[in-house]
Amino acid sequence: MRWSGSGRSQNLEDRRGGGGGRLPGGMGGLGIGGIVIVLIISLVTKQNPLALLGALDGAGGTAPGVEAPITDPAEEEKVIFVSMVLDSSQALWARLLPQLGGSYREATLVLFRDQTTSACGAAQSATGPFYCPGDEKVYIDLGFYNELASRFGAPGDFAEAYVLAHEVGHHVQHVLGTDEAMRRAQQQRPDQANELSVRLELQADCYAGVWAHAAAKQGGLSAGDLEEGLQAAASVGDDRIQRMGGGSVNQESWTHGSSEQRMTWFKRGFDGGDPRMCDTFR
């Protein structure tokens, strides 16, 4: 892609620091009494109590509750890139949503390592990127992009952009109430629960294509970018993932759609650039 970084998005929440979290009833495993002792020692020795807590947690370690700075330049470049995609996609939907009878509100992108918490439960690297409607946040471990290239065979920055644009598409569905309508339909017709889930995912793919269309019009795409996006869509098709797992292809168990379906709907959004063409429920 042709892009220039303008810094971190204001809607970015970075949880990648290695300092750990505060524990119930204390800090870094210390009880209330231990914390009081540390505070008394800090008053006597004139030392920073956080430094003392850090020393107790492990010599030279970061004090619990304090995020360790991320200093990897290569990873920071990735942070700036996903910030650009996030801001670009959200600016687009702020313009387009009135056409669909809605008013856009911005989502937050959470970057984490290994695991974190969300309103939808635990977020783990193994589950891949996802959108949580409970807190209106997209969760991504940047390490997934390495897996997307090495394991799923979908390298390239536009492939990475597709993943985030797809998750923002889920936020658009949430703002419009599409996801809630789908859940009600699943409760009424449990025999169609998987099919309805597939339709929701394919619509998010189409919405990602709508964003890609806008990016192309603004001169943001390079030669081969569309192919990267299509390859990324195909790489996470249910049928391909089932084959990768060594099992047989079972369409009844699909929740996201086949490789062909995902490519088709992404391309539909890309070609038309109109979210009204993304009604996968008809």
Minimal CA–CA distance to 99: which of 281, 280, 282, 277? 277
- Amino acid sitting at position 197: S
Q: 149-181 pLDDT, tens per residue?
A: 998 889 889 999 999 999 999 999 999 999 999
Both structure tokens of 62: 């970061």
Q: What is the mean pLDDT of the chain?
A: 84
Once rounded to an integer, what is the mean pLDDT over residues 65-90? 79
Domain boundaries, given as residue ranges, for the chain: 19-57, 73-277
Angle at 110 between CA 278 and CA 136, to 5 degrees: 50
The predicted pLDDT at position 98 comes to 93
Band (pLDDT 50/70/90 cuts) for residue 97 is: very high
Rounded to an integer, what distance in angstroms lies between the CA atom of residue 181 and that of residue 148?
31
In this predicted structure, the answer to whether residue 281 has a pLDDT above a threshold of 90 is: yes
- Amino acid sitting at position 225: D
Minimal CA–CA distance to 238: which of 210, 218, 257, 263? 257
In this predicted structure, the answer to whether residue 69 has a pLDDT above a threshold of 60 is: no
Band (pLDDT 50/70/90 cuts) for residue 58 is: very low
E strand residue ranges, 120-249:
121-124, 130-132, 137-140
Band (pLDDT 50/70/90 cuts) for residue 105 is: very high
Task: Of 42-51, 56-65, 83-92, 252-261, give the range with the top mean pLDDT.
Answer: 83-92
Higher pLDDT, 23 or 47: 47
Both structure tokens of 171: 């936020």
Q: 213-240 pLDDT, tens per residue?
A: 999 999 888 889 999 999 999 999 998 9
Band (pLDDT 50/70/90 cuts) for residue 210 is: very high
List phi, psi (to 5°) of 15: -110, 25
Rounded to an integer, what distance in angstroms lies between the CA atom of residue 188 and that of residue 186?
5
The predicted pLDDT at position 37 comes to 55
The predicted pLDDT at position 43 comes to 55
Q: 3-18 pLDDT, tens per residue?
A: 776 789 999 999 998 5
In this predicted structure, the answer to whether residue 51 has a pLDDT above a threshold of 90 is: no
Q: 120-145 pLDDT, tens per residue?
A: 999 999 889 999 999 999 999 999 99
Band (pLDDT 50/70/90 cuts) for residue 75 is: confident
